A and B are shown apart, each in its own frame.
Chain A
Amino acid sequence: MSTDQPQPTNSFCGNTRREFLWQAGGAFTSVALAGMLAKDGFLQKQALAFDGTTPLTAVNPLAAKLPHFPGKAKSVIFLFMYGGPSHIDTFDYKPDLFKYDGQTIQVKTKGRGGDKSEGRIVGPKWNFKKHGQSGAWVSDLFPHLATCVDDMAFVKSMYAESPIHGSAMLMMNTGKLLGGAPSMGSWVNYGLGSVNQNLPGFVVMLDATGGPISGAKNWTSGFMPALYQGCVLRGKGDPILDLATPSSRSETAQRKLLDRLKMWNTRHALLRSGNSDLESRIESYELAYRMQATAPETIDFTGETAETKNLYGMDEPQTEDFGRKCLLARRLVERGVRFVQIYSGGSHNDANWDAHDDLKTNHDYHAGRTDKPIAALLKDLKRRGMLDDTLVVWGGEFGRQPTAEYAKGTGRDHNSWGFTMWMAGGGIKGGISVGETDELGSIGVGERFHVKQLHATILNQLGIDPNALTYFYAGLDQKLVGVEGAQPIRQVIA
């Protein structure tokens, strides 16, 4: 593992800004300096990395940068429950709903099926109990997570701008309903870089059934360079696309190829003085070679004890897959990866949490596959002292309605007016719950929290001022939280 320590510099070395900008170099700087430069000039806006000094043609615009202020969290693990888990069947206890089960009552909802003003209540299909010292309500869907509630902060009045998967996924991942904006992980990658140059700074792990709707748009770098986009990592086989040398070629043959290449490229560069890009490209091949040598170690679990693997449920078929991903997430974070996103569920319909027909079957299936691994992740991080600087986020793109979607059955339609997400670690207060929905769980009441405030909270925990992390594009200082900004959810911050 190679770790580069950030070293702040804050001078232009006596050069004019423009001269400075066009000099190749990998000097590290702070985001504060970048903020100072943000208003000035095109070149560092479009041709330089976030630090305002590193040209994108240098080998490591992803080099680590100092945050705005010391952050509590060094890394984020975002557990994306794709499809929209039902908050009222999981963490948002609504005793009235049991009472009203089967009754048609007046309640406004908006989902895939459009606007409705009344509907048949579906009582929660699982019982709730209080857990931990904090007495948090958790349904029987999550027996393992229920043992972790004192480390978790629930936000029960989340809301989003769209109750439709396509746009809601983009909102949760990029802060915008329309495609084209960078995803949260890209912003973090851009803002903080990676302390491990042998691994990507932003890693995404997908469900075996396929990606979420819009695929790569969920981890895109949008209008930023592609180098900030999420890297899809697989828990088995070749972890990263094209990381492995083709099986027909030995590693020594690969090295010979690289040596030959270096010889040619060096000779080529010697004849072309003053073009630092050429040296950068030579260096990029050495970096690639080191990645090849070190990255596979990350997915090699031989160093993990049987106890750990079993903790994650890797010994049971039902939890093996998600358990492997959660353990991998811990290993990635250990190695300095900034942002890890794991999708629970993929593809369409019941292959994810989108329980339109049979709520019971759907949620039993998805919770059953993830409950134990996620609880294990929290416990494992905690016992290793890593939970303090690892922020774990759980949730989907929206929640679900208290009423049935169809005349028969238990399926619930989408609900973006009120739903629950939880966070743990990374400077988040454990054992608390903020915000609430009405007595039916149909809409947030009192103080409600927009998706952008979740984004602001995540950036804040990483030491980034969400309203100062900007990227100049199309005439605007673009932000993850939108040009008007958003405040973190202060109540959950320790």
Chain B
Amino acid sequence: MRSSVLFALFTTLLVGAANGDDALKPSTARIKVIDFNKERQWWSYAPIYDQAPPQVKDQAWCKNDIDRFILAKLEAIGLSPAPQADRVALIRRAFYDLTGLPPSPEEVDAFVNDSRPQAWSELIDRLLASPHYGERWGRYWLDLVRYADTNGFERDGDKPASWRYRDWVIAAFNSDKPYDRFLTEQLAGDELPDRSFDTMVATGYYRLGMWDDEVPDLDQALADDLDGIVDTTARTMLGMGLGCARCHDHKGDPIRQRDYYSFAANFAGLKPYKAFAGNGIEAANVMRSISTDFGMVDFPAARAKWHEQRKAIIDELLAMESSKPDLDRAPNKGLMSHYAFETKADAPEADRAILKNSASDANGKVIDLGWGKPGRFGLAGSFDGGDDRISIPSTIGDDFTISFWFKSDRIARGTESNPLWFTGTGLVDGEISGIVDDFGISIIAGGVIAAGVGNPETFVHSAPGFNDGQWHHVAFTRLKSSGEIILYIDSIEAMRAIGGKQTLKSPKNLVIGAMHPGGGAFTGMIDEVRLYDRVLDRTEIISIATSVGEPTATLASIESNRGKEQAENWRQSYETLNKLEPPAWHGTEVLCAVERDDPQVTHVLTRGSPHAPAEEVQHAVPEIAQGNSLSMGSAMEVYDSESSGRRLALAKWITDPRNQFTSRVMMNRIWQHHFDRAICPTPNDFGHFGETPTHPELLDWLAKQFVASGWSIKQMHRLIMMSAAYQISSNATPESLEKDPANEYISRFRLRRLQSEEIRDSLLAVNGSFNPAMGGPGIRPPMPDEVLATSSRPEEVWPLSEPASWPRRSVYIHAKRSLQDPLLSVFDQADIDNPCPVRFSTIQPTQALTMLNSKLTNGQAVIFADRLRREFPNNVRTQIERAMRLAYGRKVESQEIDDGMRFISDLQSTESMSESDAMNIFALALYNSNEFIYVD
């Protein structure tokens, strides 16, 4: 619909027709009448009920409660489950299900010969502990969230560092990150109190969609990008086809168009990819530079060590001069304003409204502030990132020094790689929009302290990492006669620059704890803000920052009191102090959520058109999903100034144990990938357009188990795999085929074809060339010339990665929208542009052609045969046996080896082939065999 609306609009808007189309005018939308009480009877809108496992006749068959649910249905239609699968089938099933790789013959033998009752559960535990588990199960998630490494369209350019998100997903599965936390980090990893580098990477979730950097209609493109997020989130996490309500009320489900837009409003704070003249990506909108140490131990430890060393020297200096630490030695000469924040929390309201300026009569106007917390000296001001800020009269403008202390552990706004002070979070700021005579100091993403003066715009900044939760001293000086500005952090000069020489009189007021024009609210503490009308020299700044005395006087005093040697010791320590630089912070560019200052207002869009906004909506969740005493409502938590907190509130609602969608939807997916068919066969749509579950009671029971386990996916694997139902044979009896033709009742196990990645990975695993290296930028193994020729830039489109990387797992192949690996594609790899809940599993002659004739399979077959020749030189019989064992896992009968021998010798005699060439063909045949490609 939206396209046709668009072209109607296109004509009107762009061509400039005089009369507006009706489609342009906000219409009074017909509101769908919904009987919510009735709708909440629908299985997926109903709460999760406590389901007692049903009674069954054949108690002995049941290994756990899952089996009671399965068996009860089978008994009702007069069927018995298939017998237990043999042990070779079981280990192969377990290996492929959990790791996507085949077991080695040795692993098969060990399991087959292990008759201990716990052998099966130990196998499961071992596979769950394998790092290959995350690669296998992470892939399912990547299918759902339409993971891609490029943006599509003309340039199909790389998404910067998108692979970190892929690695995060794999690591999350491997570490059994609780599913509620797994979702929360993706939705709101930047809004969490305990955020870290990894949780920031998780928000790369928002950047996976396609993006045209040369859009014909920017509003439409932004709406489409947001739609990708809304639709993917609703389908993936809630099993809800919310995207259907983009243009009109949902045709089948109790979802109004309004619900779509109020859900979309949860994401309205996100900055989108941005088009600009250069047809590229504006990194500041979608990327941040964050230390890999962020939120982890290493960097704070190094910082702490630096603080310790510094403190030791300072203590030593102070001891030699018989002074005390924590003495505020700020000079009074030229002091125009001083805000000391010495107001107690229980001070009368009147005292709080005016912040006393101890240096003059000028008072600060307090908008809001946290009082009475211990500061660097006495008490300090505490800023919560909300409205907290203080407006103070600017008493400087010619020569000046701004001196203050701050402490924060937040990332802050802006971009570390381009730290312009006015893009940051305000410390002491007087910024005025435009090229005017202003100045200010802020903190930028990554803990960079930035400062600058206007007209001409002149900037200085520090190294990153000062958001380490420690007190730091900032001094910013400006000399009018030369225009020179200098920034000192902890009395060490960070940077100097030459700016204008005029009086900087634009800001009448300065703002403490936010940006002067608004926004950029600071979270943390600020203390002892001083404005001087002169440039303090280095020694004065050292005295403020360290409480150490001014050197000339101090040296003279020490020399006269304690002698020359002590004075020299003091001088040397003073030098050391001046040179003790803080440990460097190594920022890493991360593709992640970045929020606007103010979330955009969200409107219902008439017929989905961004050019036809109608009623305004508030952020919320769909009305049908509220209730059960669980409502997102006004439960918004604004955590700090860097974002609106809407996504965190949404994440809390989605992961609330009472939310009946979240646990059912994920549990259904876990089941799906064990049985190759989900309980509800439409895993992304639990609504009226989807299929109904075959075992709704079991799904509810499992969902409850899932939440009770602390959302542990690995525990759910164990639970499912320990059931008898998981361990039955895939062999069908006539009765089973007759009474359960589609195998909905699980009367037998579902034989399945390996998925595309499993096929490629198995070729590598079996021939021994498999490289198990994990993570990192996408690999580019060789691509057939014929495929490269389909690109508009055949020469440049696919620069090969280093050869050692080629035999790595398929999940690491660079996911490029305009160029797909032919083997993966022909075996039904997920389409990269769309969420994929269920892979197709087709059987096609072109698959046979690829497996028989491609360079890839033929090359891998030679490597396979080479391995056999290397391991068993001059022994064709053993080579054949080993080849079949590697491919199938099971033991090989001597008759099969005889057959293989005849095949080899026949090729040698009738085709005049060398033994080695014949063995290559034998290996290729194994790769093509059904026994290799199918799992029982």
Contact = CB atoms under 8 A, between A and B. Distances in A.
B681 interface: yes
Interface size bucket, A side?
35 or more
B929 A278 contact: no
Query: Chain B, interface size: which category?
Result: 35 or more
B15 A108 contact: yes
Contact of A265 (B214, B733, B930): B930
Contacts of B4: 450, 452, 482, 484, 486
Given A46-B838, A216-B818, A261-B925, A19 B849 contact: no
Nearest to B842: A56
B346 interface: no
Contacts of A47: 840
B212 A167 contact: yes
A99 interface: no
Interface string A212-236: 1111110011110111000110100
Interface stretch (A68-76, A123-131, A158-166, A427-435): A158-166
A219 to B, nearest CB: 9
A215 B791 contact: yes
Contacts of B906: 256
A346 interface: yes
B834 A223 contact: yes
Contacts of A223: 831, 834
B751 interface: yes
A273 B763 CA distance: 27
A167 B151 CA distance: 13
Interface string A418-451: 0000000000000000000000000100001010
Given A179-B152, A274-B731, A484-B1, A291 B10 contact: no
B493 interface: no
Interface stretch (B124-132, B501-509, B806-814, B852-860): B852-860
Contact of B854 (A217, A242, A268): A242
Contact of A180 (B5, B681, B831): B831
B921 A180 contact: no
Interface string B180-192: 0000000000000
B210 A180 contact: yes
A121 interface: no
A488 B929 CA distance: 48
A57 interface: yes
B819 interface: yes
A164 B213 CA distance: 11
Interface string B669-690: 0000000000001101101011
Given A161-B7, A265-B929, A253 B787 contact: no
Contacts of B853: 242-246
A166 B846 contact: no
A234 B786 contact: yes
Contact of A211 (B792, B822, B854): B792
A475 B244 contact: yes
A284 B841 CA distance: 14
B348 interface: no
B848 interface: yes
A486 B850 CA distance: 39
A101 B834 CA distance: 48
A331 interface: no
Nearest to B816: A215
Nearest to B902: A260
A176 B3 contact: yes
A278 B682 CA distance: 25
Contact of B818 (A23, A217, A232): A217
A449 to B, nearest CB: 11
Contacts of B210: 178-180
Contacts of A213: 153-154, 792
Given A59-B845, A269-B930, A246 B792 contact: no
A426 to B, nearest CB: 25
Interface string A253-290: 11011101101110011011111011011101101100
Contacts of B899: 263
A61 interface: yes
A212 B841 contact: no
Contacts of B359: none
A417 interface: yes
Interface stretch (B517-525, B533-541, B640-648, B736-744): B736-744
B155 to A, nearest CB: 8
B316 interface: no
A216 B824 CA distance: 14
Contact of B819 (A115, A216, A221, A281): A216
A301 interface: no
B911 A252 contact: yes
A164 B214 contact: yes
B751 A275 contact: yes
Contacts of A42: 681-682, 690-691
A226 B842 contact: yes
A162 B153 CA distance: 12
Contact of A277 (B16, B152, B751, B828): B751
B793 A347 contact: yes
A162 B912 CA distance: 60
A318 interface: no
Interface in B1-34: 1, 3-7, 10-11, 14-16
Contacts of B152: 166, 179, 214, 217
B379 to A, nearest CB: 56
Contacts of A144: none
B840 A226 contact: yes
A268 B931 contact: yes
Contacts of B748: 274
Given A42-B690, A232-B786, A475-B244, A180 B833 contact: yes
Contacts of B6: 161, 177
B243 interface: yes
Interface string B774-792: 0000000000101101111
A241 B831 contact: no
A167 B931 CA distance: 44
Contacts of A486: 4
Contacts of A287: 845, 848
B227 to A, nearest CB: 9
A293 interface: no
A41 interface: yes
A210 interface: yes
Contacts of B744: 18
A50 to B, nearest CB: 13
B741 to A, nearest CB: 5
Contacts of A105: none
Contacts of A494: none
Contacts of B765: none
A284 B844 contact: yes
Contacts of A214: 152-154, 156, 792, 817-818
18 contacts: A58-B843, A115-B14, A176-B3, A178-B224, A210-B790, A216-B790, A223-B831, A226-B825, A227-B842, A232-B790, A238-B786, A250-B911, A253-B921, A264-B931, A272-B936, A291-B849, A292-B849, A474-B243
Interface of B: 1, 3-7, 10-11, 14-16, 152-156, 210, 212, 214-217, 220, 224, 231, 235, 241, 243-244, 250, 252, 681-682, 684-685, 687, 689-691, 730-733, 736-737, 741-744, 748, 751, 753, 784, 786-787, 789-794, 797, 817-820, 822, 825-826, 828-829, 831, 833-835, 838, 840-850, 852-855, 858, 899, 903, 906-907, 910-911, 913, 917, 921, 924-925, 928-931, 933-934, 936
10 closest Cβ pairs, A-B complex: A274-B732, A180-B833, A166-B153, A22-B742, A288-B848, A166-B154, A162-B216, A475-B241, A288-B845, A287-B845
Given A180-B831, A482-B1, A484-B4, 20 more contacts: A46-B838, A164-B154, A164-B212, A177-B3, A177-B216, A206-B789, A217-B818, A241-B822, A243-B853, A257-B852, A264-B925, A268-B934, A277-B753, A284-B847, A285-B928, A291-B845, A450-B4, A473-B834, A474-B243, A476-B244
